[in-house]
Chains A and B, each alone.
Chain A
Amino acid sequence: MEIPYTYKPRPDTGLYNAKVGIWLFLASEIMLFGALFSSYILLRVQSPEGLWPIVEGGWPSGLLNIPIGTFNTAVLITSSVTVVLAWAALKMNNFAAFRRYMVVTLVCAFGFLGIKSFEYNEKFTHYELRMTDGSAHTGHLEVNGKHPGFWDFGAIYNLERLQSESVTEVKFTFDPPKPKPGEKQEAHAHETKTIAVGDIAKLRTFTPSTHTFFGIYFVITALHGLHVLGGALVLGYFAFPGASMWKSNPEQFTNRIEVAGLFWHFVDLVWIFLFPVVYLL
């Protein structure tokens, strides 16, 4: 039995069925991401004045890598341009151009995920350090000559672990101090000092449990990353094994690319809003 309205418009909606379906799905996605965005904004505006970690509940502005985030934004914008050009190529009956544009889209998608994993690595190897004299710092830790890393979860340290392993001192590379408003940025080298474990009051990495900001940052960006991965898998299927439909039913295949392209645009549009809110605010 043939499935109706896969390429012909339905008389009552004026659209083929998959297009109505994807827009209903995207409406539910808007509610999902909208709830997370609202949570983020409420947490941000209700945080006390002052920068974390000096103010314990303050907001940790400036801890994300904005140049990398900007580059990743450019990568996603490029992928949206190429996916729409791939669809336009099919409309103009040019399958070779379609495949070229889809390959570029896939490279951008997996490039985005690779860069994002680099950013995650940066956070899981970044530490909050509170001393017994009340001072608070951020930076990178070195224990017994090793830098604990993201891909080796066993090497992530906290104070309890240092004490249980009878580590007496660690090296800590401090982040350069942030300039006050109106103050010129001075050139600061990263300063490394040896610290006695007995002088440490609290030590932990930038994980979701460290601060509300990291909790919501990891939830939103990981959920977005899963959407990028899902979209990339679907686009990869249509670019290669699923492309055989182009010979049997070119109109339906073109519509499938349009629907996948609509999802891809939505995912990229979420990032267009996510980037300024999470990285710049």
Chain B
Amino acid sequence: MSLKAFHIVFVAASVMLCLVLGAWAYGRYQQAGIVADLGWSIGSFAAAVGLIGYGWYFLRKLKNISYL
């Protein structure tokens, strides 16, 4: 597996982490009502979207490099 393929795995794991963190922060907001937790949750979901966009850009930029 090349660095290109491993990087895609890494970006996918990072997106999952951002989604988990976003859901966790939203749960905390619902429980304790702290507005900062809501901002944290929105920020985490936005980071997940940003990482998906970056992954798309990365695949296009390195389309000539092997996955092996």
Contact = CB atoms under 8 A, between A and B. Distances in A.
A74 B32 CA distance: 25
Contacts of B20: 276, 280
A23 interface: yes
B17 A84 contact: no
A128 interface: no
B33 A185 contact: yes
B14 A272 contact: yes
- Dominant secondary structure of chain B at its interface with chain A: helix
Given A265-B10, A280-B24, A179 B3 contact: no
A138 interface: no
B11 to A, nearest CB: 8
A184 interface: yes
Contact of B31 (A23, A88, A182): A182
A88 B61 contact: yes
A272 B17 contact: yes
Contacts of B33: 184-185
A14 interface: yes
A96 to B, nearest CB: 17
Contact of B17 (A179, A185, A276): A276
Given A73-B17, A275-B17, 12 more contacts: A70-B40, A84-B3, A84-B4, A84-B7, A84-B58, A88-B65, A179-B31, A184-B33, A262-B3, A272-B10, A272-B14, A272-B17
B6 A265 contact: yes
B5 to A, nearest CB: 10
Interface residues on B, range: 20 to 34
Interface string A244-274: 0000000000000010011001001100110
B13 interface: yes
Nearest 9 CB-CB pairings of A with B: A185-B32, A261-B3, A84-B7, A258-B3, A184-B33, A272-B13, A265-B6, A265-B10, A77-B14
A258 B58 CA distance: 16
Contacts of A73: 17
A276 B14 CA distance: 11
Interface residues on A, range: 20 to 34
Interface of B: 1-4, 6-7, 9-10, 13-14, 17, 20-21, 24, 31-34, 40, 47, 51, 54, 58, 61-62, 65, 68
Contacts of B58: 84
Interface of A: 14-15, 19, 23, 67, 70, 73-74, 77, 80-81, 84, 87-88, 91, 179, 181-185, 258, 261-262, 265, 268-269, 272-273, 275-276, 280
B48 to A, nearest CB: 11
A275 B47 CA distance: 16
B68 A15 contact: yes
Given A70-B21, A276-B20, A23 B32 contact: no
A14 to B, nearest CB: 7
Contact of A258 (B2, B17, B40, B51): B2
Contacts of B65: 88, 91
A63 B65 CA distance: 45
A77 B7 CA distance: 10
A179 B24 contact: no
